[in-house]
Chain A
Amino acid sequence: DAGVIQSPRHEVTEMGQEVTLRCKPISGHDYLFWYRQTMMRGLELLIYFNNNVPIDDSGMPEDRFSAKMPNASFSTLKIQPSEPRDSAVYFCASSLWGSAEAFFGQGTRLTVV
């Protein structure tokens, strides 16, 4: 398996634009996580899904952020409208029920100017 695949690897966008980050989890994994990493706040869990259903979105910073998982092999994190303070590295991770080990993708570095 190629691991968790995220796209794009880098995204530069202007303030106010919509940004969509994409994730393909490891095949067979039934948990999917979205994290945000910044120098100031470290690694924060934004939302996680189990069997495509959102379980906990308490980490989503505000209504500008939304996440979907339409099927077991794809998830998106959308920011609309984007702001400079959203600049961060966004990681997607997946895990298998009963394992607890989260496998992280390589991340998407988002810069909002």
Chain B
Amino acid sequence: GENVEQHPSTLSVQEGDSAVIKCTYSDSASNYFPWYKQELGKGPQLIIDIRSNVGEKKDQRIAVTLNKTAKHFSLHITETQPEDSAVYFCAASSNDYKLSFGAGTTVTVRA
């Protein structure tokens, strides 16, 4: 099955700086890569996703890049704000529905 590794496990950044989280996957059949944000006491929420036919996607302050050859994808958050503090999960899937999640990255934005 699919194995998704995520780094780092924790990330502390100064408000206004950028944050980068990296993931690798093992199954070359995976073609859908979403990122979820989980706030304390809540369920994960989709923030951005990318498909294998696209190398980069951007939505305001967040962007995701995908390198299919190397089997890795990254989340970039620019101009971080305190409300960006949360746990972020990457995931991979070959059918849109059976998601394999990374272990998560706890992001803390320091004011």
Seen from chain A, the residues whose Cβ lies within 8 Å of a Cβ on chain B are 4, 31, 33, 42-45, 48, 50, 55-56, 91, 93, 95, 100-102, 104-107
Contacts and interface: CB of A to CB of B under 8 A. Distances in A.
Q: Interface size bucket, B side?
A: 20 to 34
- Is the contact region of chain B dominated by helix, strand, or loop, or is it mixed? loop
A31 B101 contact: no
B97 to A, nearest CB: 6
A100 B44 contact: no
29 contacts: A4-B43, A31-B97, A42-B89, A42-B101, A42-B103, A42-B104, A43-B44, A43-B89, A44-B101, A45-B98, A48-B97, A48-B98, A50-B97, A56-B98, A91-B43, A93-B43, A100-B34, A100-B93, A100-B96, A100-B97, A101-B34, A101-B49, A104-B42, A104-B43, A104-B44, A105-B43, A106-B43, A107-B42, A107-B43
